[in-house]
Structure 1
Amino acid sequence: MKNIATTILIAATACAASADGMKSLESFMKGTQTGRADFTQTVTSPGKDGQAARSKTSTGSFEFQRPGRFKFVYKKPFEQTIVADGQTLWLYDVDLNQVTQRSQAQVLGSTPAALLASAPDMSVLKTEFALEAAPDQDGLQWVQATPKGKDGQLKSVRVGFAGEQLAALDILDSFGQRSLIRFTGMQANAVLPVSTFVFKPPARADVVRQ
């Protein structure tokens, strides 16, 4: 009897903790319209032909303004800037001095960016993703987001929260590659200048339109 009661208590506690992830996501969508943070991203590619998995780590800064604007600035080990201005997604590779320009509407629907910046509220988010609470891990509350469209490269995303504060993204693509992004120093509802999300290709940069 004691074991049964303990099992029920553990299960109930786990369900309550998991539910906090959905609550955190809802609070984030309602209460955080802009944000600024630093990030560390670790990309792990599955091993091939018996080789061990390979990982690489990047660092940089991140800013967003819902709906539809965000900016990733990768500083180490290679400089790269990704800007979504509401209409166009820009990717600037400093080493190559190349800018890739894409229509934002065509590429951001079922992507991690939609979870952070594109969707204005939960109802819109639920049109693109199936959302469910995931078990707490590493001191964070998690939500599992699975794209409803099956034609993209994104398999799933776990979104981690520390309370109502965005703390991590754990992204898995259809090739088995995992990208873990951890945010630090998150400033919710930071005042961001309009120029934050304005991108102009540098002089002499090669601009590729897709």
Structure 2
Amino acid sequence: MTLVRHFTTWAMLLICMMLIALPCNAAQSLDNDTAKIVSGIEKKYANKSFTADFEQASRLTALDVTEIAKGKAWFSHPGKMKWAYENSDNHEIITNGKELWIYRPQENQVMIGDAAPFFQSGSGGAFLADIRKIREEFTIEPGRSGENFAQLELTPKKETPELAKIRITVDLPGYEISVVETENIYGDTTKFIFTNIQFSTFDEQIFELTPPPGTEIIEMD
């Protein structure tokens, strides 16, 4: 696995951290404008299932390289998701909130692990699949805003080297999250642009994976 590809997979797992509920801390008092934005996205996303197309840009600052990927994602409360990549290696990252699979069909390989040790090792908190945790897991500050958008800067209350800051862009007046950008302490960033967001129910069997016969299975520690 190349360094850039390894970073892209790591960046994806970092986003996954934001989909699993962690123990809560005391909620922050917010100014009226910021509280209105947070309340808007809570109402939009809490306990919802949705799909979205995405474009991902992962940048390694030290090497000054950026890798672009795209695909489709599915989310469901609490902590279930599937990311299907459409780039050259066509891999999928799937979790039912308990188990985690990274499936690379072209390599006839699937990595399998327990979701909790990976996701709970960071401080991402629950984000897209349990948006209400945003108040409890992050210090929230307002960013840039305009007539049709608002930004929030989220700092984990328990910072780790892998996650120093998250910036989100919220489209107004619908309160859809169109951009999520994470940054680690080294300045490496991963930016997701979400489009074609659709709130609807779907068969949650997509959050399970049974490897095809003959697939190489690698256990993740």
Normalised to the residue count of structure 1, the TM-score between the two structures is 0.77
Unaligned residue ranges in structure 1 (runs of 5+): 1-17
Out of 187, 197, 213, the residue aligned to residue 186 of structure 1 is 197
1:147 counterpart = 2:159: no
Cα shift readout 1:166-192 (whole Å, capped 9, x = no counterpart): 21111112332111110111012x111
Q: Which amino acid aligns with 2:105?
A: V
Cα shift readout 1:15-71 (whole Å, capped 9, x = no counterpart): xxx9656533332223321111101111121144xxxx2111101001101111111
Alignment of 1:1-210 (within 5 A): 22-32=35-45, 33-48=48-63, 53-109=64-120, 110=122, 114-117=126-129, 119=130, 121-122=131-132, 124-136=133-145, 140-163=149-172, 164-188=175-199, 190-209=200-219, 210=221
CA distance in 1, matches of 2:138, 2:113: 22
CA distance in 2, matches of 1:40, 1:208: 27
CA distance in 2, matches of 1:94, 1:39: 20
Normalised to the residue count of structure 2, the TM-score between the two structures is 0.73
Structure 2 equivalent of residue 14 of structure 1: none
> What secondary structure, in the 3-state scheme, does the structure 1 residue paired with 2:107 have?
coil
CA distance in 2, matches of 1:30, 1:140: 17
- Note closer, same or farther for the CA distance 1:201–1:23 as it changes in structure 2 (3 Å cut): farther
- Note closer, same or farther for the CA distance 1:134–1:99 as it changes in structure 2 (3 Å cut): same
Higher strand share: 1
> What secondary structure, in the 3-state scheme, does the structure 2 residue paired with 1:150 have?
coil
Q: Following TM superposition, by how much is the alpha carbon of 1:84 offset from its aligned partner in structure 2, in angstroms?
A: 1.4
Asked if structure 1 preserves the Cα contact closer than 8 Å seen for 2:44 and 2:176, the reply is: no
CA distance in 1, matches of 2:181, 2:147: 12
CA distance in 1, matches of 2:103, 2:204: 19
CA distance in 1, matches of 2:148, 2:89: 30
> What secondary structure, in the 3-state scheme, does the structure 1 residue paired with 2:58 have?
strand
> What secondary structure, in the 3-state scheme, does the structure 1 residue paired with 2:116 have?
helix
User: How many residue pairs get matched?
Assistant: 185
Q: Percent identity?
A: 22
Unaligned residue ranges in structure 2 (runs of 5+): 1-30
CA distance in 2, matches of 1:202, 1:138: 50
Q: Which amino acid aligns with 1:131?
A: I
Provide the aligned C-alpha RMSD in A. Answer: 2.5
- Note closer, same or farther for the CA distance 1:94–1:156 as it changes in structure 2 (3 Å cut): farther
CA distance in 1, matches of 2:111, 2:213: 14
